[in-house]
């Protein structure tokens, strides 16, 4: 009887061991999502069994299977193996030509541990965080929506009333009721007289659309039909 019990225990142990070696591991794809003031989205995978980041000893990517499955879970486009990536030591890889909903993607990785029954645990390189970086236009839209000191404006919303030669910008008001426009190229143009007089800003009249408008129509010290609505928007941001 004792032999039968011992044999059963050994058999069960071997069976468990074989199953633990052969069965597909159930990785943890749960995440916590955060968004910073610039619209950069971070997904943190904090589970003990986060999905693998398959790289070799030189930190070249071997397989995109779990990377792309993770991206699918968070609702993002997969990364093609043909895309160029940059290696940043033992911290993260980045793709500057990512074509998902955001411009750039960065995947940080670390060490996870697979705990196994009766045999040693296995350490493996796993995904720790995915960061999505918006392009400049996406960032401007986000700031205009979420920062009560800024307002995003673009040509398609105003039609013939649009006064600029550029297609979009961020209106902002600084201390002293100085209203200015930030362009996609990070240039700052003063819109009212107080801002134009400040040497920190370029003269907003440089980006006015002059087609079909006489010089007397242009803004002088914050007055004039071409910019009055946009100056008013900016002054409201100062309140």
Give pLDDT, residue 60. 96
The reply to whether 101 and 82 lie within a common domain is yes
Asked if residue 189 and residue 119 are part of one domain, the reply reads: no
Pick the more confident residue, 3 or 194. 194
Residue 114 lies in a domain: yes
18 domain-assigned: no
For residue 98, tell me if it sits in a domain: yes
Residue 7 covered by a domain: no
pLDDT on residue 15: 43
Same domain, 34 and 127: yes
Instruction: For residues 55 and 105, state if they share a domain.
Output: yes
Assess whether 88 and 128 both reside in one domain: yes
What pLDDT shows up at residue 181? 96
CA dist., res. 192 & res. 60, Å (int): 54
19 pLDDT above the threshold of 90: no
Last residue of a domain, one of 134, 155, 175: 134
Give the domain-ending residue among 134, 168, 199.
Answer: 134
pTM of the model: 0.73
Is residue 37 domain-shared with residue 63, that is, in the same domain? yes
> Tell me, what's the pLDDT at 24?
64
Q: Are residues 123 and 159 in the same domain?
A: no
pLDDT digits (tens, 9 = 90+) for 41-83: 999 998 889 999 999 999 999 999 999 999 999 999 999 999 9
Q: What are the tens digits of pLDDT across the range 120-171?
A: 888 999 999 999 999 999 999 999 999 989 999 999 998 888 889 999 999 9
Residue 219 pLDDT greater than 60, yes or no: no
Considering the domain boundaries, does residue 224 fall inside one? yes
**Confidence band (pLDDT; 50, 70, 90) for 93?**
very high
Give the mean model confidence (pLDDT) for residues 184-204: 93
Residues 142 and 128 both lie in one domain: no
The reply to whether 68 falls in a domain is yes
Q: Which of 106, 134, 162 is the last residue of a domain?
A: 134
- Residue 212 is predicted with a pLDDT of 56
The domain of 177 spans 138-238
1 lies in a domain? no
Total number of domains in the chain? 2
- Shared-domain flag, residues 98 and 162: no
Looking at the structure, do residues 149 and 184 belong to the same domain, yes or no?
yes
Higher pLDDT, 119 or 232: 232
Q: What average pLDDT does the segment 207-217 reach?
A: 64
pLDDT given for residue 159 in this prediction? 85
pLDDT interval class at 103 (50, 70, 90): confident
The pLDDT tens digits for 20-51 are 443 568 899 999 999 998 899 999 998 889 99
Q: Residue 13 domain-assigned?
A: no
């Amino acid at each position: 009887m004792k032999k039968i019990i011992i044999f059963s225990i050994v058999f069960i142990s071997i069976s468990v061991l074989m199953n633990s070696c052969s069965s597909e591991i159930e990785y943890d794809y749960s995440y916590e999502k955060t968004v910073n003031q610039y619209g950069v989205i971070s997904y943190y995978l904090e589970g003990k069994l986060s999905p693998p980041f398959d790289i070799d000893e030189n930190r070249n990517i071997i397989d995109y299977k779990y990377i792309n499955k993770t991206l699918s879970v968070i609702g993002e486009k997969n990364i093609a193996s043909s895309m160029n990536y940059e290696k940043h030591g033992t911290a993260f890889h980045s793709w500057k030509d990512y074509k998902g909903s955001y411009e750039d993607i960065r995947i940080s990785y670390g060490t996870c541990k697979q705990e196994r029954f009766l045999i040693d645990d296995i350490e493996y390189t796993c995904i720790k965080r995915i960061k999505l970086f918006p392009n400049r236009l996406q960032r401007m839209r986000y700031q205009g929506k979420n920062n009560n000191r800024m307002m995003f404006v673009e040509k398609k919303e105003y039609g013939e009333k649009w006064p600029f030669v550029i297609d979009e910008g961020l209106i902002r008001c600084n201390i002293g009721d100085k209203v200015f426009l930030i362009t996609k190229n990070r240039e700052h143009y003063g819109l009212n007289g107080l801002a134009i007089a400040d040497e920190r800003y370029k003269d907003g009249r440089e980006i006015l659309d002059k087609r079909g408008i006489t010089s007397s129509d242009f803004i002088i010290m914050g007055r004039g039909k071409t910019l009055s609505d946009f100056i008013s928007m900016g002054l409201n941001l100062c309140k």
